[in-house]
Amino acid sequence: MQPAGPYNGGMFFFTYLARELRRRRRQAVFIALGLAVGVGLVVTVTAASAGVKDAQAKVLKGLYGIGTDITVTGQAPSASTGTAPGGGNKVSIGIGPNGAQTCTNGKCHPLKNGYTFDILGSPSYSPISEAEVAKVAALHGVTAAAGGLILTDNRTTISQNPSPPTSFTVDGTDISRPKLGPLSAATTATGRTFRQADADKNVALVDRNYAASNGLKTGGTITIAGVKFTIIGTVTQPESSNPPDVYIPLARAQALAKTGPAGGSLKNDVNTIYVTAASAADIPAVQNEIAKLLPKATVTTPSSLANEVSGSVSSAAKLAGDLGKWLSVLVLIAAFAVAVLLTMAAVSRRVREFGTLKALGWRGRRIIVQVMGESVVIGALGAAIGIGLGFAGVAIINAIAPTLTATLAQATGLRIFTPGGAQTPTATHTVSVPLVASVSAAAVVGAVLLALAGGLLAGSFASWRIARLRPADALTKVG
């Protein structure tokens, strides 16, 4: 040991520190490993949680639309009527006890054999005046707003051998704002997308999967509400989305759509408003303002939509958020406790050494700084090993993690008439999304800080023990 005396500066501090760590190599390694296990688990859980959140975000982005922060939809119609609340006659067409029939205000009449009806309507959402779109766009914190119509084309032919009704979904798109709404996330597969000159033309874009399953091609036609539309292109959407089957200009959708089978026109109406907020922080305030402006409408954000998503992606998010968090906390507490106990034990075994140093003139503060320095180095070593363990854990997760699924229940758009009233059945849409855990720079920095905090905590308890050591008691232990 170098004799104590006048302080020789930083060189002596590091020389003494290195010698003590080499002399107590096994103990230092044990403390560092304890910290490393806790830090490694935190890194792994953080990376897995981030991977689940990314998977959930991909699902919501596909279901919700790129560029859209808030979606406003008209109030869902009453299950007992064929029209939305406030719409004129209560009309429905469906299958009753005696076959196909049409009902107006509760009075039903059978439909003749061979009768075909092709109705483009909005069975899931009630209309909102198009003027409200401009009011929403003018709200503080809103950067853009666009109206749209979410519709269903129902077609049924009455015959002696009735076949099930066919339907497909139609999106009335505001082509002047292509960056808002369901079409904003689409990629053109064949043909072209909408142009401004298409606003009043009978042209349509078709989802590529729907086109393939129904033999539709670019340049062909598709009949919507009895009107033939020219298919100008096909589009693809993100895998996690549940896209409409057909897109048509909003003005044409407004002209053709009905509030019910025999209801009024939806001209100058929309049933959906897509909104972009100035920033994520503005979304709650904008949501409240829209709710005040349109009290009967449903205001949805990605966070509220996340609550409706079920499946393994939702379960994994809860598991990573709850169990993973508490497991990390418990392991960190255990790692810190082990580091403190081992450091305290080491200090107890070094009482004679510290007593000698105090007898030779070292102040307690100087000894404490030396011990704290050793603890910081051990903490840094634990951080390095812990980060390595964290990356190894992430690699294992990515190698064995199953593909996550997300399920969202959505209205089919069909209206089925029964003796108990008209009903709108729902269908579930399930998508698969891979889980890819990744370590962020913030997680690495956090791991280093945690390990250093653990080392400092252990050094602090040891320093408290050293501070209580009096020179007279130390001298009695020097034999």
pLDDT at residue 423 tops 50? no
Task: Tell me if 254 is assigned to some domain.
Answer: yes
Share of the chain above pLDDT 90, in %: 21
Residue that the structure tokens 């497909």 belong to: 168
Q: How confident is the model at residue 190 (pLDDT cuts 50, 70, 90)?
A: very high
Torsional sign, CA 339, 340, 343, 344 = negative
Q: For residue range 229-247, what is the model confidence (pLDDT) as tens digits?
A: 999 999 998 765 678 899 9
| Residue where a domain terminates, one of 277, 300, 323 | 300
Q: Tokens in use for 316?
A: 């994994």
Task: Tell me if 266 is assigned to some domain.
Answer: yes
Encode burial over 174-200: b for 16+ CB neighbours within 10 A, e otherwise.
bbebbebbbbbbbeebbbebbeeebee
Task: Tell me if 417 is assigned to some domain.
Answer: no
Looking at the structure, do residues 206 and 246 belong to the same domain, yes or no?
yes
pLDDT at residue 160 tops 90? no
Looking at the structure, do residues 271 and 327 belong to the same domain, yes or no?
no
How many domains does the structure of the chain reveal? 2
| Residue where a domain terminates, one of 247, 270, 300 | 300
How much is the pLDDT for 87?
42
Query: Residues 453-469: what's their mean pLDDT?
Result: 72
How much is the pLDDT for 262?
46
Looking at the structure, do residues 369 and 220 belong to the same domain, yes or no?
no
Lowest mean pLDDT: which of 103-112, 185-194, 232-241?
A: 103-112
Lowest mean pLDDT: which of 141-145, 293-297, 330-334?
A: 330-334
| Residue where a domain terminates, one of 300, 324, 356 | 300
How much is the pLDDT for 417?
39
Asked if residues 181 and 65 have their Cβ atoms less than 8 Å apart, the reply is yes
Task: Tell me if 445 is assigned to some domain.
Answer: yes
Task: Tell me if 204 is assigned to some domain.
Answer: yes
Beta strands at 203-207 and 227-236: parallel, antiparallel or unpaired: parallel
Looking at the structure, do residues 26 and 92 belong to the same domain, yes or no?
no
Partnered with residue 153 across adjacent β-strands are: 120, 168
pLDDT at residue 255 tops 60? yes
Looking at the structure, do residues 55 and 79 belong to the same domain, yes or no?
no
Q: Centre a 10 Å sphere on the Cβ of residue 2 and count the other Cβ atoms it contains.
A: 9
Looking at the structure, do residues 342 and 295 belong to the same domain, yes or no?
no
Q: Helices 441-467 and 25-64 sit at what angle, rounded to 10 degrees?
A: 150
Q: Rounded distance, CA 246 to CA 244, Å?
A: 6
Q: For residue range 48-105, what is the model confidence (pLDDT) as tens digits?
A: 777 777 766 665 555 555 456 788 888 765 544 444 433 444 555 555 666 666 666 6
Looking at the structure, do residues 44 and 101 belong to the same domain, yes or no?
no
How much is the pLDDT for 432?
63
How much is the pLDDT for 378?
82
Looking at the structure, do residues 382 and 450 belong to the same domain, yes or no?
yes
Query: How far does Cα 397 stand from its chain's mean position?
Result: 20
Q: Rounded distance, CA 170 to CA 204, Å?
A: 10
How much is the pLDDT for 175?
92
| 29 φ/ψ angles, rounded to the nearest 5 degrees | -65, -40
Looking at the structure, do residues 104 and 241 belong to the same domain, yes or no?
yes
3-state DSSP assignment of residue 140 = coil
Q: Rounded distance, CA 183 to CA 169, Å?
A: 13
Q: Rounded distance, CA 362 to CA 121, Å?
A: 89
How much is the pLDDT for 312?
44
Looking at the structure, do residues 95 and 152 belong to the same domain, yes or no?
yes
Q: For residue range 275-290, what is the model confidence (pLDDT) as tens digits?
A: 988 887 888 899 899 9
Looking at the structure, do residues 290 and 346 belong to the same domain, yes or no?
no
How much is the pLDDT for 118?
76
Task: Tell me if 428 is assigned to some domain.
Answer: no
Asked if residues 91 and 261 have their Cβ atoms less than 8 Å apart, the reply is yes
Task: Tell me if 307 is assigned to some domain.
Answer: no
How much is the pLDDT for 216?
95
Which amino acid is located at 448 in the chain? V
Higher pLDDT, 410 or 294: 294
Q: For residue range 9-42, what is the model confidence (pLDDT) as tens digits?
A: 567 667 777 777 777 788 788 878 878 888 888 8
- DSSP per-residue codes, 332-388: HHHHHHHHHHHHHHHHHHTHHHHHHHHHTT--HHHHHHHHHHHHHHHHHHHHHHHHH
pLDDT at residue 365 tops 70? yes
Query: What's the chain's average pLDDT?
Result: 74
> Radius of gyration (Cα) for the chain, nearest Å?
34
Range of the domain at 186: 70-300
Q: Cβ-count burial of 158 within 10 angstroms (0-12 exposed, 13-18 middle, 19+ buried)?
A: middle
Looking at the structure, do residues 18 and 85 belong to the same domain, yes or no?
no
- Please list the alpha-helical segments (H only) found in 155-194: none
Task: Tell me if 430 is assigned to some domain.
Answer: no
